[in-house]
Amino acid sequence: MEISKPHAALLSGPGMGHLIPVLELGKRLVNLHNFSVTIFIASYTSASKSQVLRSTMNPQLCDIIELPPVDISGRLHHDAKIFTKISVMMRETKPLLRSAISAMKQPPTVLIVDLFSTEALEIAEELGIPKYVFMATNAWFLSLTIYVPTLDKVVKGEYVDQTEPFQIPGCKSLKPEEVVDPMLDRSNQQYSEYLRIGMEFPKGDGILVNTWEDLQPTTLAALRDEMLLGGFANNLPIYPIGPLTRPVGSSISKDQQLFTWLAKQPSESVIFASFGSGGTLSYEQTTEVAWGLELSKQRFIWIVRAPTVTNRDSAFFTSGNSGDDPSNYLPEGFIGRTHEVGMIVPLWAPQVDILSHSSVGGFLTHCGWNSILESITNGVPMIAWPLYAEQKMNATLLTEELGVAVRPDTLPSKKVVEREEIAKMVRMIMIDEQGFGIRAKVKELKQSAEKALSDAGSSHHALSKLAESCCCVNQGA
């Protein structure tokens, strides 16, 4: 490691949705701005995670340090939600990060932490180095996160029981039924964790966000406007550096059968259905999705997981159970009837490679932000099927603001979406005339994303500004 190079330490929370953009951020700092980068990862067991780690860092551009697993079992209530579990895990990981950093021969000159790790900003404080928070999702969710301490003061009772939408400066108003999971119950620990995170964001020297200027111009402008966010931003720089997505071809274990089949299908004729790294459906909903795909008479690839009774994010820490045989839970005869037009893949598949394939023409997605970005950057229109976290907001952003998706009439987390509606949505984005505008709009956004990342583009410029400010502080220190 050259002494003169700036050295960024990046801390990622667990979960593919956090890890993937952090790895891409690290690579860009190395490739485009001549940084040395060390990525710290809170450890947990997942085959898909280690596959991403191995495949993404080839060649090995960044040092990757997996912090030892922490035992949080004794620190959680029996009903602790995923948001709480991750927050507590990251809190317990902080001393490990501190020791790992102090053991480094070449200490970092800047610390960048993700949403769940704002408490680790104090380590940068102790070291006297600049510190930033990285929001792996979009500017609307960022605005809500920093505005939630204000909402907490003015809203009485549960957010979900309010009759009027919430007004957040520069943003589309937020309907009570769209609030993020940690806001569903104000007495639950996940709400206090979320509130704390919102209050800790301003402790950084700036915020990086995985979006780009032309995608969310009004929200980004409001985030920068001290008057609009009640003085919160305090001139805190906002760096929209996205879209940060995994490059095509970065998966090591490509399913040959799948890609051989895909290559034989006509252009934009296949709908891809997948619910992220953690999404699961009920048995009833799984049945309706199967029938919906079949009735749509479109070709499909479907990443399936065994149905669960309650949680919509129950595979988040495990990516599912590899012992599950899809024929045990899919409708009788479905696999046989559809085997020429459809591919069923249990648990996990290389999503970016599928979405970038010319035979794919639509994406039924749980609306995780990475999935959305991967769809947009490949010009693929979507069916928005939000399940957990901030996905209901993302679905609204896609359908009502960006115009690149359709969605079911009711929230899939509230009511089973029936086969006829699913088939109609599939046909709408794939072939129906009414879907023409959606298909055209997503291709426009694809170009807008490419422009933002180009040498003269806004996201490239934002990352350069960040790199400059890290170097200035280092030289001045």
Please tell me which residue in 63, 77, 78, 114 is annotated as part of the active site: 114
Exposure letters 416-442 (e unless 16+ CB within 10 A, then b): ebbbeebbbbbbbbbbeeebeebbebb
Interface with ligand UDP (CB under 6 A), residue from 56, 84, 219, 370: 370
- For 138, list phi and psi in degrees, rounded to 5: -105, 175
DSSP H or E run through 28: helix 16-33
**Would you call 377 helix, strand, or coil by DSSP?**
coil
Interface positions, 50-89, toward ligand UDP (CB under 6 A): none
DSSP H or E run through 364: strand 360-365
Cβ 469 to ligand UDP shortest distance, Å: 28
Cβ 314 to ligand UDP shortest distance, Å: 12
By CB under 6 A, residue 13 contacts ligand UDP: no
Strand partners, 346: 304
Closest CA to 13 of 120, 122, 90, 81: 90
Please tell me which residue in 18, 33, 366, 460 is annotated as part of the active site: 18
Active site residue 114: yes
What are the CA-CA distances from residue 4 to residues 26, 34, 110, 129, 375 (Å)? 18, 10, 13, 15, 39
Interface with ligand UDP (CB under 6 A), residue from 29, 133, 174, 352: 352
Distant-in-sequence, close-in-space partners of 444: CB < 8 Å, separation ≥ 6: none
Interface with ligand UDP (CB under 6 A), residue from 182, 206, 240, 276: 276
By CB under 6 A, residue 15 contacts ligand UDP: yes
By CB under 6 A, residue 350 contacts ligand UDP: yes
Interface with ligand UDP (CB under 6 A), residue from 114, 214, 374, 390: 374
Quick one: 16 or 123, whose CB is closer to ligand UDP? 16
DSSP conformation class of 100: H
Quick one: 34 or 253, whose CB is closer to ligand UDP? 253
Of 211-219, 275-283, 287-295, 451-459, which part binds ligand UDP (CB under 6 A)?
A: 275-283
Per-residue mark of binding to ligand UDP, 303-342 (x: CB under 6 A): x---------------------------------------
Closest CA to 417 of 241, 226, 288, 266: 288
Interface positions, 277-306, toward ligand UDP (CB under 6 A): 277-278, 303
| Contact (CB, 8 A) for 323 and 350 | no
Interaction site with ligand UDP (CB under 6 A)? 15-17, 20, 246, 274, 276-278, 303, 348-352, 368-371, 374
Known catalytic residues are: 18, 114
